[in-house]
Structure 1
Amino acid sequence: MIFETHAHYEDEAFDEDREELLNSLPKQGIQYVVNVGSDFSTLDQVIALTEQYSYIYGAIGVHPGNTQVLNEETFAQLKEKIGHPKCVAIGEIGLDYYWDTPDRETQKIWFAKQMELAKEVNLPMVIHSRDAANDTYGMMKEANSEKVGAIIHCFGYGKEQARQYLNMGFYLGIGGVVTFTNGRKLKEVVEYAPLEQLVLETDCPYLAPVPHRGKRNYSGYLSLIAQEIARIKKVECETVLRVTSENAMKFYRIESK
């Protein structure tokens, strides 16, 4: 069993072959996929995929880089979408200071509001944090986000930041970057972190692992990520697949079929 914790199959990169690709995933050992929202305009597509495929669940939220579209009206619509029975998390939400748009204050306002919403509806969170380690951690502490739990998606910080999040009981999302030759920092984090707090993700169509780096990513490449984690942690690949799947089932509160 392989659990894909973070995909974007609503992305236009899959427009030509989406149905064929998604139908092939169970045959490749992918038992569950969480398709994660990012842009308010595509959240209905995220929900539609959960209705079309029994093994796809959804996370509903607005990426920090798209929070300029949020206001009282759109936030009310967001809350309504979160009520869908196959919505298993709020995400991806957070802070992105790499692109730094919209302004940081706007990002912070809507990050805080979406964290409050997660507590209100008692759903865990999928966190996007890029070049914003201190502010992300500080806001999550202030929001008592341990109450609902979180995956720090596409974890990109060092061991010290990993320690902070792991101590809060959060999970680290590990994707294709761990296979890159310049992914030394993430390899160190994977070596340091307990396997019981790691989950697998692709963030597809982005960040395909080696040897597919630079091409369109998809959930079928998760085994390559698991193999690298197994090498780093000196365990069997099957152990990585089993434990990370168990972690994801627990985090998203999905019961086995």
Structure 2
Amino acid sequence: MFHFLGNVVDWFGNGSHWSGSNGVPSLLLGHVEIVVYSLLIAAVVALPIGLWLGHTGRGGFAAINVTNVGRALPAIAVLILAAQWLGIGRTPALVALTLLSVPPILTNCYTAIRGVAPEDKDAARGIGMTGMQILTRVEIPASIPLIFAGVRTAAVQAVATATLAGFVAYNCLGTLINEGVSANDHTELFAGALLVVALALITEYGLGAVQAAITPAGLRAGAAGRRRGGLRLRAADNPIVDPTAR
């Protein structure tokens, strides 16, 4: 085991693995690039639909069921179908990742908007706000954490799924894994997998920090208050009784 880990350390220390079109920086850049592009396209498609469905409440059940079917599709199957239709390279990888990124963004956006308290919307109507004003000034601000959580989920999923793009000749971190499998090189295979895991963790915690930063202060304060209230309630469940008290 220690010998294998030593080989992995040596692999990362080998300068030839850090230069050229198949070097780690180039493959990492390709991986990040396809993830970012697919997320941007998916957000442009899914967010307006989710906002409209959540605001109007029309057709939401059917749309969410359709997107849930999309979430159930195996990523490799979607990628292979895209490659059969569009050939190999960047295009099928981008199409597959976009299709797989739409469901979590759409579902979270719809759920977030529908979950806004009815009394808040009624109060907004009571002071004369239009439907668009209610959406932009009440529903969206109150839904930002959950909406962004959908983007965050899609991003982490895309980082993991983009690894499969190596199967369709797109240069990404998955290329290292494919080469490791083809050459029966367990060291390169493990190094590629380790890089994907590291990128997924950076994405998860990095976007988590962004989510916390863009959450309105009032929502953060409300969440903190609920947590403190929960702690007080749990403490009150088992009060300490003084046995000497009469």
- Shorter-chain TM range is under 0.3
Higher helix share: 2
TM-score, normalisation: structure 1:
0.20
Higher strand share: 1
Which is bigger in relative contact order (C-alpha 8 A, separation at least 6)?
2
Higher gyration radius (CA): 2
